[in-house]
Structure 1
């Protein structure tokens, strides 16, 4: 049995000010083509389909088209809700869609949803566990001691009682960690303080494969068969150097699992370039990639962002590594104490965008600060 594991589509998301709808459509089309080319038996989507609980119209249309194409190609798809999704909205018409091979397990009702499948080696059960919080599990099992996310997931799996003599695949959307294992995280994820929301990977002992969502960097967690596939797009500039992809999981007989990462290609990549303004612009070929530019010029520059955008219109972040003769940190802190809120905001805006507030924007911010002061 061959499964395509993906997660964290975050449809409707923006990269700072850039609208990614065209880029996300491009990626969904490539993922569909991979599913057809590899002749997969199932597509597993491990949560965070949308970027917000009330998705944009464009995001809903994209996902509708993606599911429709998979259904028409007779490729079953199994979807769970993530912490960014509204479980009820994502699970709309789930019983009707079941008949079309689109299986939505989004609202937790106390029991895991199980989907029995078969291949040449016998039975395979796909278990779907939407994003869980301890409070939502306590509601159904008040007699159980549930103090942590690990406790909550362990109770739900115990109640499901999988037959581990057969093959079992679990789809889950949680922050999973393993002792002695450093889980890589990035700016585009929603972070919690410390590890209060972590689930220990040991609770998944017995499953042949665990298809995880929630963390945006592809990685295994303790074992080769517990995997994050990562987000399919670079949703923050600190992911510029990473490679994105989906995971092709092939189940053989009991105990035999092969995982292959299939890279994805972008309509527009997210890149980071560093150097002086002259170095960056000298001989540069115009590109619509999303760029994070780090300027190393020692002297102040006029209209640096505008000059970069003339070649790279999708500049998403501009920063200066040199401080242009600024004083040390303590002197800068003293200087900040004597600035007005409007001046501080102007400094922040300049650092992020590489340009000053316009007269109109300045007037708007004056009104905002005056309303706050009152």
Structure 2
């Protein structure tokens, strides 16, 4: 039996405010192409189908289209809910869906009720462990004293092993968890609520293959315990990752082979740095023109309307921040303010985040300080900018 292991679709997720559904539709299309090309029998999706518990209508449409394409390519699907999903919503109509080859595993009660599929060597039991929140799952699992993910997952696997002992067949477990040895990318939402979120890989011993979801990079914890990662990058920290799925082959004795199958890149990620003029004109940045772009501007003065101007060359620019060159040196705060007056400190702050304050702005600073300390106000000399208001523009990142 040939299995494709995928997870963490996060349908409906945005990337710095940019809608990703078109990219996600293409990614699911690539999965269907792999199913056809590799003659995959079963696709296991290990949680986080959607990015939120109440997905948008458009996200549900992409999900429906993706499932239909995978099924049309010849695969049965076994889908487990993750911490981003609503188990109730994702699992709606599960009995009816199973008749069409879509098996949804979203309840604690169904943990030890496997999907039974057969090949020329006999049956294979596919167990699905939905994301288990310890505080709500421990009583239903009969481990009221359990604290943390290890306790509830141990209880879930005990149920699976008990059922498997009676069946004596090959087995695959799908679970959404953070296993020790896995490496997070930064785009995953923490699954820890008042306890340790990691569990040991030995938790899943006794089965032929464990298909994990939650971490977004493809990785091997043990030979039989792996993360497929997400089909798309969801942070600039993932720009060096090569997204992939695992192709898992079972023979008569169990796990025969696991192969990595890299996914086509839907749209690249680029982090660029330089002055705004350089970024807009330098040929060295040509490869980033069709990528999602994170730009760090190093101009001496913060450029105005930087995102609009960047998008003239990089239409998929999604994040821009200003890093003034002279503010990059590491100096502790106490050293920078020692021996300086309040007005000098404020003026320095304005210079750091924008540019040097004007004469009128300095006068307003002095006037505000006198008001705070209760000193009598003095006339401010007319400089031609008398009474002009100024804005402090913090060096916060701009995002689409």
Q: Which range, TM-score by smaller chain? A: 0.7 to 0.9
Q: Is 1:108–2:123 an aligned residue pair?
A: no
Q: Which residue number corresponds to residue 19 of structure 2? A: 19
Q: C-alpha separation between the residues in 1 aligned to 2:27 and 2:245?
A: 11
Q: Is 1:176–2:175 an aligned residue pair?
A: no
Q: Which residue number corresponds to residue 212 of structure 2? A: 212
Alignment of structure 1 residues 12-51 onto 2, 5 Å: 12-51=12-51
Moved over 6 A (4+): 336-340
- The Cα offsets for residues 196-227 of structure 1, whole Å up to 9 and x where unpaired, read as 12222111111111000011111112x12101
Q: 1:155: how far off?
A: 1.1
Q: 1:186 to 1:111 in 2, by over 3 A?
A: closer
Structure 2: which 5+ residue stretches go unaligned? 339-344, 351-364, 366-389
Q: C-alpha separation between the residues in 1 aligned to 2:47 and 2:347?
A: 43
Q: C-alpha separation between the residues in 2 aligned to 1:141 and 1:21?
A: 36
Q: Which residue number corresponds to residue 233 of structure 2? A: 234
Q: Which residue number corresponds to residue 397 of structure 2? A: 352
Structure 1: which 5+ residue stretches go unaligned? 356-374
> Contact 1:208/1:257 (CA < 8 Å) preserved in 2?
no
Q: 1:282: how far off?
A: 1.4
Larger CA deviation: 323-332 vs 78-87: 323-332
> Contact 1:303/1:354 (CA < 8 Å) preserved in 2?
no
SS at match of 1:310: helix
Q: C-alpha separation between the residues in 2 aligned to 1:290 and 1:338?
A: 32
SS at match of 2:215: coil
- The Cα offsets for residues 158-200 of structure 1, whole Å up to 9 and x where unpaired, read as 12312395321100011111xxx3x311221112569712222
From 167, 172, 197, give the equivalent of 2:170: 167
SS at match of 1:243: coil
> Contact 1:166/1:254 (CA < 8 Å) preserved in 2?
no
> Contact 1:7/1:49 (CA < 8 Å) preserved in 2?
yes
- Higher-Rg structure is 2
Q: 1:278: how far off?
A: 4.5
Task: Please report the TM-score for the alignment, with normalisation by the length of structure 2.
Answer: 0.78
Q: 1:323 to 1:103 in 2, by over 3 A?
A: same
> Contact 1:110/1:140 (CA < 8 Å) preserved in 2?
no
Alignment length, in residue pairs? 346
Q: C-alpha separation between the residues in 1 aligned to 2:113 and 2:22?
A: 34
- The Cα offsets for residues 109-168 of structure 1, whole Å up to 9 and x where unpaired, read as 264330122223333211111111223333224466422211111112212312395321
> Contact 1:23/1:266 (CA < 8 Å) preserved in 2?
no
Larger CA deviation: 35-44 vs 253-262: 253-262
Q: C-alpha separation between the residues in 2 aligned to 1:332 and 1:26?
A: 54
Q: 1:99: how far off?
A: 0.4
